[in-house]
Structure 1
Amino acid sequence: MRLTWLIVFLVLACAAGYGFTIAFRKKLNILLLGAKDEPFAQPGVRWKNFVSKILLQSKMIKEPYGVVHFFIFWGFIFICLGEIPFILEGLFPQYPIPFLGTNPYFFLVKDVLAALVFVGLMVGLIRRWIVRPKRLYRTMEAFLVVLFIMLVILTEWISTGAKYALEPHSVAYALDPVYRSVAALLSGLSESALVGIRDGVWWFHTVILLIFLVYIPNSKHLHLIAAPFNAYFGSLKPLGGQIKKLDLEDETVEEFGVSRIEGYTWNQLLDCFACGECGRCMDNCPANLSGKPLNPKELLSRTLKHHLLAKGEVMQKYGLKSTGEESAEAIAEIAATHPEDAAILQQSLINDVVTEDVLWSCTTCMSCQVQCPVSNEHVNKIIDLRRYLVTMEGNFSPELQATFRNIENNSNPWGVGWNKRDEWAAELNIKRMGEAENAEYLFFVGCAGSFDNRARQVSAAVAKIFQAARVNFVILGSEEKCCGEFARRAGNEYLYQSLVAENVELLNGYNVKKIITTCPHCLNTLRNEYPEFGGHYEVIHHTQFINELISSGKLKLKQDPVSEPQKIVYHDSCYLGRYQQEYTAPRELFSKVPGVQLMEMDRHHDKSFCCGAGGGRMWMEEHLGERINDMRVEQALAKKPQAIGANCPYCITMLEDGIKETQDSEQLVQVVDPAELIVKLI
């Protein structure tokens, strides 16, 4: 009898194993069609990320349901361990498995966690099918996975409970409340009935388990396997330094940026399989929430993934490694006999798969990546597509065309003459870099701080604070040029790299070591992106630096309350907050102003809502959905403040524009940088 069991089990297991292997190998081969990359350096840091993000579920537990998922994750691991003695002892009952099959404490822990998994799955079903948040799609695929896991748990409980009823003196199950409860329910049945339940349910459980095994690599729940690898192989660069440098002088490169799915690196494509479709990205994406066509979850888990699978399967079918120019002749031959396959191979990633409106909706705020619990990287995929559009096709909006031209002609997006860059400092007696020796700090004012009338006020306030604290600083004056941040994120890599080359030559020529800036966009670019081009500087934001001046006693403040509004609601900028993880310094500065009561918006810190200016959007009109800056202003005004605090010139502009759109002109709420209040106390 047991020999028959063993033969049937081996046949089923081999069939399931074969099905799993074929499906998994197909996905792996498709993944390896991506461009080569070598994310293997710093294994110690990578293992730390793996432990934090996967084993400890550090990102997942930041939301209430994430705690439920934590127990589902660990419960699932113990359930899988419990399958070893359950299956083997069903086949070889006379040979108990050491430790796993005989240790009562293991079964106790396993089934406590399994019970929590079962409850968690019930909560998940209610949440997805009854509460119905928009971020969770209601699909048969999602339902089947929950059903499979619940059946695996229930059938193991019933079969082992029947076994315990047959062997009431078994030490292994003595502490387990679930098995004891099931055994108690079945205690009135005959021995033959108990044997029938034990064996029949064992087979039902085994078949369900093997079906589930085959189903995983053929469904979105491939993320159970892909997510741990994604956490390990994810980028170790700072969040703001992950854009890949293009070698524009390499004449062997067919295209710059990405226009074909295989143009992404294999570990970028791994994101598509790692996505668990939890929807945290879409729940925190300002483009999605404002009604624009970009949905980061849809982009990864549906659009790019489905195209990758379809195209990858055809490429494997014909042995193609690429669909670039070198494959044109082969694709033409395929078109003669299989036009439907050729049509898939000839699809452009841009417009045929991802629309331009999707690409240009992104503000590069990074909220999607920061919220993602499995380390997916959405933003750089969008920037890579933009870089192809702009660099290879010259395809971009008229607004961007004018702004790019302004930078080319006058080294700033405003298009104001370069000789007027230091007009804001005309009456402040600030030395220029060429006039001073051994200056400790360069105040990199930035284009907004030099040309935007509102941002100029912040620049002046910061300079006055530095002078009061006797900081040894200089500015570049008319020698300063745009850092290039906007150009790069808008896809113009040529313009960006030309600006970087000029700036690095200038800064290194002056032997600059330390830089202070009021613009978080400049901060991120100079700190995280310039090193790849030979520019290695210690860069700090003005709020961080001023906070240090006060804390160290180098800057003394009056304790008289300022005449400014006192209830201030604070807005975290994306490029200082999420990109640099700096949330404390600006808040501490506001708190140092006597009489100021600082308030938080509902969306704050790493969940702060973008102002809408990043990623080149500052220079583009919003034609789709709601205006993002208007939405952020409404969130701020809901707290009934007297002022909105900000730390970025782009944010100040966008918030002030939003206030003008939503408020009576006679009762406008102010937007203030903390430096503008601190300067009144020196």
Structure 2
Amino acid sequence: VRRYGARPLRLWEPRRGEGYALFLWLLLAVLVSGFLVEGLRIVATRDPWGLWSPGGWLTARALGGIGAGQLQLWHRLVWWGHAVLAFVFIALVPFTLIRHILVAPANIALRRPQPSGVLAPEALEEAEHFGVSSIQGFPRKDLLDLLACTECGRCQAACPAWATGKPLTPKGVVIDLRDHLYANTLRQPDGRTMVGEVVGEDAIWACTTCGGCHQACPVFIEPIPKLVDMRRFLVMEEARFPAPMQAALRGLENRGHPYQGAVPSRTAWAEGLDVPLLAEKGTAEYLYWVGCAAAFDERNQKVARAFARLLQAAGVDFAILGEEERCTGDFARRIGHEFLFQMQAQANVETLNRYGVTRILTTCPHCYNTLRHEYRPFGGTYEVLHHSEFLARLLREGRVRPGVTETRRLAYHDSCYLGRHNGIYGAPRAVLDGLPGVRRRELPRHAENSFCCGAGGGLMWSEERTGTRINVARTEEVLGADVEVVGTACPFCLSMFEDGIRAKDATERLRALDVAEVLAGALPPESA
């Protein structure tokens, strides 16, 4: 009824059709014939316990007028018809789309233990080719993903690219790759190239790696690694990818960061704050990993200054690397330049281990995800805390005591790489809820169902030319919540909201602030 009556779009798009009608009608026939067999049995035997088989009992009530001589004949005919239908259904399962009822449980059992934001490293020294350009190049688990898809469309409904008119749909990618797999293994090869024809390049570059599809999938299919593998092929084999991304990668190679026209120093943001360098201090309980955005982006420098003031007000023993810090390489990895990412990772791990760093604080969820999870294969194992977690701890311990602030209606936006990919939802809210003057509201889409800002997956360094800009769509949702401030805990989200607010000409109605800025603004003058 729901599929063919209500017809939710996520079940039918992007192909405006589906291949399950035969099996659904066949399953219905098996069920109906089964009730008929049971009803005829109950009538013929006058089973006193028939009421305990409610489907059969109700059917028996409808068949009560059949004569005794006819019951045996009808029971035999329907029994054989039911058996044939059931065996036909069972025989079709392994060879048709309905096979997901067998494959999906296996896919769930074999799901990756790592968080959804973690990408597996590519063994570059052993690789004959970089990335994946043919269906046979995917690991077996990725191929199992394709067979497990139920085509429910939940991933598509959660995808910010699809929601804003981009050509990417995770469901479409998975079923297109599945059909391509069938064509190249069970049938005559279709002669199409996987990257570019089966999956269009516009779709490949539209992914923000937000993890909405991973979160929504009931059988744990992961489209992101497949898209990144295809990006690796386009970047490292073909050198064919968007020009703004190329400029960002060149900046990383030449300057050590992707920001063009930025201040030349990683420590300019800290001028006048007496923030110690680890090289001069020798040791510190915590290393504050500033990140490229907070070091070079003028707007995010204010976040770094606010966080540093909070650390100093709480008496935290911390230091920074200064010019020895390099970009974590997060965006390079997600764009597909695995070689550049591994160079950055190895250099950073060498620096961190040389100083004996064990605890790291960072204001960037992308740095957090990379330092905590993706540096481990390169020898970097650290206790990494996002600044919202650490600030919530300082508030809980009474080491930071905010004063009374002006009343503000505020909504918190969940960053994809902090929330969905790493499960941190409570800490930023605890910081905001600890301020007497803040009245926090939840956005319609929040926590694990939050809507992406549009900057992940390297798209911070790209231009959206199709459909609605994702950050504008999210800004419109915030404006509809009737709040004065949108709180963030990610430098990319902050930049995208600043841009979205300007695009909507709403600078007088809405401000974007990091949680550290909100808390630092509430410090009494003597603490600040």
**Shorter-chain TM-score: which interval?**
over 0.9
Partner deviation per Cα, 1:120-162 (whole Å, 9 max, x = no partner): xxxxx2x222322210126463222222222212111111111
What TM-score does the superposition give when structure 2 sets the normalisation length? 0.95
Aligned counterpart for 1:460 among listed residues 300, 305, 328? 305
Cα distance in 2 for residues equivalent to 1:351 and 1:359: 9
Instruction: Say which is worse superposed, 592-601 or 181-190, in terms of deviation.
Output: 181-190
Q: Deviations along 1:234-259, whole A, 9 cap, x unmatched? A: 11112222x22112222xx3201100
Partner of 1:18 in structure 2? none
Q: Give 1:488-637 correspondences, 5 Å limit.
A: 488-558=333-403, 560=404, 562-563=405-406, 566-637=408-479
Match for residue 197 of structure 1 among 74, 80, 85: 74
User: What is aligned with 1:308?
Assistant: 181
- Give the number of equivalent residue pairs: 520
**CA deviation string 1:530-560 (max 9, x = no partner):** 00111111101000001011112222222x1
Extract unaligned runs of 5+ from structure 1.
Answer: 1-124, 315-340
Q: Is residue 173 of structure 2 the alignment partner of residue 299 of structure 1?
A: yes
**Residue type of the alignment partner of 1:589:** V
- Paired with 2:105 and 2:318, the residues of 1 have a C-alpha distance of 47
Q: Does 1:655 align with 2:497?
A: yes
Supply the AA of the counterpart residue of 1:194: L
1:184 equivalent to 2:61? Answer yes
Q: Aligned to 1:681, what secondary structure does the other structure show?
A: coil
Within the candidate set 253, 257, 261, 1:412 is matched to: 257
Q: Where do 1:187-586 residues align within 5 Å?
A: 187-241=64-118, 243-250=119-126, 253-301=127-175, 303-313=176-186, 344=190, 347-415=192-260, 420-558=265-403, 560=404, 562-563=405-406, 566-586=408-428
Report if the CA contact (8 A) 1:287-1:294 is conserved: yes
- CA 1:139–1:217 in 2, change beyond 3 Å: closer, same or farther? farther
The correspondence for 1:670, drawn from 493, 511, 515, is 511
Determine the C-alpha separation between the residues in 2 that align with 1:147 and 1:415.
60
Q: How far did residue 189 of structure 1 move?
A: 2.0
> Is the CA contact 1:410–1:417 (under 8 Å) kept in the aligned structure 2?
no
What SS does the corresponding residue of 2:375 show, helix, strand or coil?
A: helix
Separation in structure 2 between the aligned mates of residue 450 and residue 515 of structure 1, nearest angstrom = 16
Counterparts of 2:246 and 2:55, CA distance in 1:
68
Q: Distance in 2 between matches of 1:140 and 1:351?
A: 24
Structure 2: gaps spanning 5 or more residues:
524-528
Distance 1:355 1:185, change over 3 A: closer
Give the distance between the partners of 1:557 and 1:485, measured in 2 at CA.
Answer: 34
Contact 2:262 2:296 in 1 (8 A): no
Give the Å deviation of 1:438.
3.0
Distance 2:138 2:6 in 1: 37
Q: CA–CA distance in 2 between the matches of 1:640 and 1:472?
A: 40
Distance of 2:18 and 2:520 partners within structure 1 = 60
Question: How far does the alpha carbon of each residue in 1:54-92 deviate from its partner, in whole angstroms, 9 at most, with x for none?
Answer: xxxxxxxxxxxxxxxxxxxxxxxxxxxxxxxxxxxxxxx
- Partner of residue 162 from structure 1, selected from 40, 54, 69: 40
Question: What TM-score, normalized to structure 1?
Answer: 0.74
1:147 matched to which residue of 2?
Answer: 25
**1:83-123 deviation line (CA, Å, top 9, x unaligned):** xxxxxxxxxxxxxxxxxxxxxxxxxxxxxxxxxxxxxxxxx
User: Which segment is superposed worse, 516-525 or 349-358?
Assistant: 349-358
How much does 1:664 deviate? 4.5
Q: How far does residue 416 in structure 1 lie from its aligned partner after superposition?
A: 5.6
Shift of 1:495: 0.9
Letter paired with 2:221? N
| Structure-2 change in CA distance of 1:445 and 1:416 (3 Å) | farther
Q: Is the 8 A contact 1:411 1:418 kept in 2?
A: no
Letter of the structure 2 residue corresponding to residue 646 of structure 1: T
Is 1:130 matched up with 2:5?
Answer: yes
> What's the counterpart of residue 520 of structure 2?
679
Deviation at 1:590, TM superposition (A): 0.9
One-letter amino acid matched to 2:281: A
Question: 2: CA distance between counterparts of 1:313 and 1:158?
Answer: 38
Q: 2:262·2:297 contact (CA, 8 Å) conserved in 1? A: no
- How far, CA to CA, are the matches of 2:228 and 2:498 in structure 1? 28
Distance 2:9 2:37 in 1: 39
Distance 1:619 1:186, change over 3 A: same
Deviation of 1:676 (Å): 0.9
Give the Cα–Cα distance (whole angstroms) in 1 for the partners of residues 63 and 277 of structure 2. 88
Q: 1:258, 1:593 → 2: CA distance? A: 49
Larger Rg: 1
How far apart, in 1, do the equivalents of 2:416 and 2:259 lie? 22
CA-based RMSD: 1.6
Question: Is 1:486–1:616's contact at 8 Å kept on the other side of the alignment?
Answer: yes
DSSP-derived class of the 2:360 partner: strand
1:567–1:594 Cα change, 3 Å:
same
Determine the C-alpha separation between the residues in 2 that align with 1:185 and 1:626.
57
For the 8 Å contact 2:364–2:490, the answer to whether it is kept is yes
1:451-487: per-residue Cα shift (whole Å, max 9, x none)? 1111111111111110011111000111111000000
| Structure 1 residue 437: Cα displacement | 3.1
- Aligned partner of 1:532: which letter? P
Q: Is the 8 A contact 2:267 2:322 kept in 1?
A: yes
**What is the distance in 1 between the residues matched to 2:269 and 2:281?**
19
Distance 1:624 1:174 in 2: 60
Residues 417, 434 of structure 1: CA spacing in aligned structure 2 closer, same or farther, 3 A cutoff? Answer: farther
What letter corresponds to residue 57 of structure 2 in structure 1?
R
| Aligned-partner Cα distance in 2 for 1:368–1:617 | 17
User: 1:410 deviation in Å?
Assistant: 1.2
Name the SS of the counterpart of 1:567 in structure 2: strand
* Match for residue 485 of structure 2 among 643, 647, 653: 643
One-letter code aligned to 1:491 = G
Q: Take 2:18 and 2:255, find their aligned partners in 1: how far apart are those partners?
A: 57
Offset from partner CA, 1:207-254 (integer Å, 9 cap, x none): 21122123323332111011001001111112222x22112222xx32
Q: Are the equivalent residues in 1 in contact too, given 2:283–2:355 (CA < 8 A)?
A: no
Give the whole-Å Cα distance in 2 for the aligned partners of 1:570 and 1:413. Answer: 27
What percent of counterpart residues are identical?
40
CA contact (8 A) 1:660 1:668 kept: no
Distance 1:429 1:299 in 2: 51
How far apart are the structure 2 equivalents of 1:180 and 1:653?
65
Q: Which amino acid aligns with 2:136?
A: E
